[in-house]
Structure 1
């Protein structure tokens, strides 16, 4: 019985810890660059990793876990800064696609060393075992969250 209680205590700690760490990492990352927030960085990083070089706002919203409205708001700010282009889909004018600009690609190339130092410092003293354990644990959480989102969506429809 005590092992079950201990497991629940640890799970509660992990849950709270992830939320707290997300906030702290965002604050720390926001200090890295006065021109770009961590959320804006994540939006651009997701677009860079997309197979389609011009994903839709909805696709990026789904990948980042943000609402479509929040992604559009961030994208408009990044467009004003010259990092993104918002373009109507040639086949369906209702669809807005996001494209990184040459200025954006150059900007990220120039801050590559700074980002690498940030990541190295963030994960200092992480060996392969710890890194793999956290990686696999986060993947399980992602799968569970996706399942819970699907279950919730089915409850709303049903």
Structure 2
């Protein structure tokens, strides 16, 4: 395999793994899809002032429309509250409910066991290598997304 073939393999593998991880996660988590769970997790880690729909969308790299659609669904299930910002009437803020925090508590052990099982064949060094690769690759994707490639 030449370098281009290897790069295409890596790129394709990441896309395939993303799909397979989503299917796996959807089977593990009750009441939520993996994407919904991840969205709640991201929101739980953000500072209180940062929890607007726009900030959340930007952070996870998705469109405002897609995030808002997921948030509305999560609100209908009682996991979040969406309300107008007191600082900016155009902004919508998101707040986790007690149900979200209880969900994290109730499902933490099962999720941790599944993730640990998934990575059980990896040494600590391999985990560090993959982590470093993904951080670097994430940075490259962010740089690439900032470029104007429309004329290429």
The TM-score by the shorter chain falls in which range? Answer: over 0.9
TM-score of the superposition, structure 2-length normalised? 0.93
Q: Which has the higher contact order (CA 8 A, sep 6+)?
A: 2
Q: Does 1:101 align with 2:97?
A: yes
Query: Deviations along 1:77-111, whole A, 9 cap, x unmatched?
Result: 10011100001100211100111001110111111
Q: How many residues align?
A: 150
Out of 137, 148, 151, the position equivalent to 1:141 is: 137
Summarize deviations over 1:102-151 as a string: whole Å, max 9, x none: 11101111111111111111111111111111111111111111111111
Question: How does 1:68-83 map onto structure 2 within 5 Å?
Answer: 68-83=64-79
* Offset, 1:64: 1.2
CA distance in 2, matches of 1:102, 1:54: 19
The reply to whether residue 14 of structure 1 matches residue 10 of structure 2 is yes
Output the aligned Cα RMSD. Answer: 1.5
Please state if 1:40 is matched with 2:36: yes
Inter-CA distance 97–149: structure 2 relative to 1 (3 Å threshold): same
For structure 1, list consecutive stretches of 5 or more residues without a partner in the other structure: none
User: Given the two structures, how large is their TM-score scaled by the length of structure 1?
Assistant: 0.89
Q: Which runs of 4+ in 1 moved over 3 A?
A: none
